[in-house]
Chain A
Amino acid sequence: MTTFAFDPTVPAQLQSWLTDRVAEYLPDVTEPVDPHRQLGEYGLDSIAVVAFAADVEDQLGTVVDPTAIWDYPTIAQLAEFLAAELGERSPAA
């Protein structure tokens, strides 16, 4: 598992990382991604959602189903959800 320069169980830190990461998947994004705006509005289509989820799963080392992004469609919501998921795992895991 990747060692992070941030604590992924803290939503604010995870949010900042996800914000940078998702920008890689968005077509023609020139300004910073607003964490409270729906990712679909930025043109993240259903196929890119699968790629983004797979990438986040690989990086965080926890299962991230594409449906997580359907159900938490802004970066802020997704960060909160994933931080809670990661926080539930034992620290030794």
Chain B
Amino acid sequence: MIGIGSRTDHLEKLLGDPWDAGNPAGFGAAVAADEREETAAAAEAALDDFGLHAEFVPTALGGRLDRVDHMVELMRSVYRRDPALGLGRSGQLLAAVNVWTAGSPEQRAAAAALLLDNRRIACAFHELAHGNDIAANTFAARHVEGGLRLSGRKESIANLDRADALVVLARTGEHDGPRSRSQLFLTADRLDPARVRHLPRFRSVGMRGVRLGGMEVDGLDVPAGALLGTEGSGVDTAARAFQVTRMALPAMTTALLDTALRVTLHHTRRRMLYGREAVAIPVVRTVLAETFADLLVCEALSQAATRALQLRPESGSVHAPAVKYLVAGVLTEALERLSTVMGSEFYRRDGEHAVFQKLARDVKPVAFGHIARAACLSALLPQLPGLLRRSAREPAPAPDSLFGAEAVLPALDLPALRLASGGRDCLAASLGTVLDDELPAAVRPLAEEHVRAFAALAGAGASLRPRQLAIDAEVPVRRLAARYTVALAAAACLGVHRMAADGDFLAGPHWLAAALTRLAALERPSGAQLPAGAEDALIAELTDRDDRGLSFGLDARPYL
């Protein structure tokens, strides 16, 4: 298999320079397609030429997926041009990971063959009435002679109308509860038009190029062999499989912020205000530098979490909601702040920066699509007391392979993922040892502040009563779970700094001081200024990367 660096370079070339107004897969084409609620046809064709869906198929099944972090980095080349183009493709993962986790050899081979042939699989779980409470879904599969009979509605499902196969969540048991739900793998030829009515397309504010469909099914018979995994394992399978997607999809979306930041930088470097470049105005500089730090924070946490999924899979049930909660929150907020710097240019649907208004809308679903940020806190909270107890009891440095450019990871083992971590979280445990490392003088007090905050969190967690952790948890209790995600991100940034190669920007003190300051500001929004020197260093790096056409994320890899 061709290495990840060559694959990302090749994909960049196929999609071409997004700033080139004549590129049919560039920003201009993406904006024009968005106006039609589509994606650019030339960009879709380039992705098919590349065989993009092979990136979602494990190598054991003939695809190119061997590392989740590599898949994420490659998809950033798609998301940075048009997030809807990216989500329209990465949405296949929601279905695929369930097949890889629980499918029979035949089902896995069938799903792999479809994806390797550039075809699509939709994940038909969602019912508008039940939101993230998938164990309450009402779409039913009843036993009948020779198989199962399906009835019910599925709504707001990406690519449903052009999928070649579906993974469906259905009620198979009489009683309430997670064991009464099963997953089914159906090829589209089973959807008898006499029994399946497609619903009108659902319209959306952002990600308009992603076709959201629905279906109403009335007595469709399918063979019992359509079950994915054993009967009653539907919620169990999803709880494991979705650990991948709840990390990977927000992680891909950091490329949306890369483009928003790049557009803002272009605009403010060219715009003259009050006799100077807008980028020289202090408030503009500050927002640009802080946003750059935010982007690095998001990538540090998501890189550590996606690698831990392979290296320490027991923590996935914690890291997945943590990544989704923190990354989605930071990205959403960052787009808001960049909008203020863009001024009226943010409001335009034409001109060379028109892609910005699209990004400001496209970022919205990262906060609620797949799983809502609020539901992520609900998922973290019941594990919190055990996580805090264990990390205080057994502090240990995080594995080197979670950070750094080079890492060797074991194969992704989806069935081995657990529904709960048993309090094991290698990132949280590392907060007990990070101060033992050599730290730059400018960074040490900031690191100490995060370690103290984590100790205080452990203290607060120790006094939590079991009944306080349920779905009706009080707001101050839910904030403890949010603080936990901040601690994980701080640990990830410290790890990235520790493992960075000598002379690399990431080995220097400035980005880390800025990152830790920004993370502290998530808890105490008032008055957290970047340390002296950090802002200048970040702006210098940012403009240098912009001039050299490098990504703004951890990898600083060539972007066209």
What is A's interface to B at a CB cutoff of 8 Å? 24-27, 40, 45-48, 50-55, 57-58, 63, 65-67, 70-71, 73
Contacting residue for B423 out of A27, A48, A54, CB 8 A: A54
B171 CB to closest chain A CB, in angstroms? 15
In this assembly, does B469 line the interface, its C-beta being within 8 Å of a C-beta of chain A?
yes
Per-position binary interface string of chain B over residues 467-492, scored 1 when its CB falls under 8 Å from any chain A CB and 0 otherwise: 10111000000000000000000000
Chain B residues, CB < 8 A from A27: 467, 470
Chain A residues, CB < 8 A from B390: 58
- Closest-by-CB residue of A relative to B314 is A63
In this assembly, does B178 line the interface, its C-beta being within 8 Å of a C-beta of chain A?
yes
Contacting residue for A58 out of B135, B422, B469, CB 8 A: B422
Contact (Cβ within 8 A) B382 A58: no
Contact (Cβ within 8 A) A47 B236: no
A93 CB to closest chain B CB, in angstroms? 16
Per-position binary interface string of chain B over residues 392-435, scored 1 when its CB falls under 8 Å from any chain A CB and 0 otherwise: 00000000000000000000000000111111000000000000
In this assembly, does B105 line the interface, its C-beta being within 8 Å of a C-beta of chain A?
no
* In the complex, chain B residues 439-494 whose Cβ is within 8 Å of any chain A Cβ: 465-467, 469-471
In this assembly, does B386 line the interface, its C-beta being within 8 Å of a C-beta of chain A?
yes
A77 CB to closest chain B CB, in angstroms? 13
Contact (Cβ within 8 A) B386 A25: no
Contact (Cβ within 8 A) B420 A25: no
Looking at B178, B378, B381, B383, which has the most chain A CB atoms within 10 Å of its CB? B178
A73 CB to closest chain B CB, in angstroms? 7
- Closest-by-CB residue of A relative to B418 is A65
Contact (Cβ within 8 A) A58 B389: yes
CA of A25 to CA of B423, assembled, Å = 18
Contact (Cβ within 8 A) A54 B178: no
Chain B residues, CB < 8 A from A26: 467
CA of A21 to CA of B420, assembled, Å = 19
Interface CB pairs A-B, < 8 A, 26: A24-B465, A24-B467, A25-B467, A27-B470, A40-B177, A46-B178, A47-B382, A47-B470, A48-B469, A50-B379, A50-B383, A51-B382, A51-B466, A51-B470, A53-B420, A54-B386, A54-B420, A54-B422, A55-B385, A57-B386, A57-B422, A57-B423, A63-B422, A67-B419, A70-B236, A73-B177
Contact (Cβ within 8 A) A51 B419: no
Please give 11 more A-B residue pairs, beta carbons under 8 A apart, in addition to A46-B135, A48-B466, A58-B390: A45-B471, A47-B469, A50-B382, A50-B383, A50-B420, A51-B382, A51-B469, A57-B386, A58-B389, A63-B422, A67-B236
- Closest-by-CB residue of B relative to A24 is B466
CA of A53 to CA of B382, assembled, Å = 9
Main secondary structure of the interface of B (DSSP, over half): helix
CA of A27 to CA of B176, assembled, Å = 18
CA of A54 to CA of B385, assembled, Å = 9
B183 CB to closest chain A CB, in angstroms? 15
Contact (Cβ within 8 A) B420 A47: no
Report the interface size class on chain B. 20 to 34
A24 CB to closest chain B CB, in angstroms? 4
Per-position binary interface string of chain B over residues 371-393, scored 1 when its CB falls under 8 Å from any chain A CB and 0 otherwise: 00000001101110110011000
Contacting residue for B383 out of A25, A51, A73, CB 8 A: A51
CA of A57 to CA of B383, assembled, Å = 11
Chain B residues, CB < 8 A from A52: 466
CA of A51 to CA of B384, assembled, Å = 9
B246 CB to closest chain A CB, in angstroms? 15
CA of A51 to CA of B337, assembled, Å = 37
- Closest-by-CB residue of B relative to A22 is B466
CA of A71 to CA of B235, assembled, Å = 13
In this assembly, does B201 line the interface, its C-beta being within 8 Å of a C-beta of chain A?
no
Per-position binary interface string of chain B over residues 143-174, scored 1 when its CB falls under 8 Å from any chain A CB and 0 otherwise: 00000000000000000000000000000000
- Closest-by-CB residue of B relative to A27 is B467
Contact (Cβ within 8 A) A47 B386: no
CA of A66 to CA of B239, assembled, Å = 11
CA of A62 to CA of B156, assembled, Å = 41
A29 CB to closest chain B CB, in angstroms? 10
Contact (Cβ within 8 A) A50 B419: yes
A64 CB to closest chain B CB, in angstroms? 8
B413 CB to closest chain A CB, in angstroms? 16
- Closest-by-CB residue of B relative to A26 is B467
In this assembly, does B179 line the interface, its C-beta being within 8 Å of a C-beta of chain A?
yes
CA of A50 to CA of B470, assembled, Å = 10
Chain B residues, CB < 8 A from A51: 381-383, 385, 466, 469-470
B180 CB to closest chain A CB, in angstroms? 10
CA of A53 to CA of B471, assembled, Å = 16
CA of A71 to CA of B390, assembled, Å = 27
Chain A residues, CB < 8 A from B177: 40, 70, 73
CA of A67 to CA of B421, assembled, Å = 13
CA of A47 to CA of B317, assembled, Å = 13
Chain A residues, CB < 8 A from B419: 50, 65-67
* In the complex, chain B residues 30-81 whose Cβ is within 8 Å of any chain A Cβ: none
Q: Do A25 and B466 contact each other (CB < 8 Å), given the known contacts A40-B177, A50-B383?
A: yes
Contact (Cβ within 8 A) A48 B389: no
CA of A50 to CA of B465, assembled, Å = 14
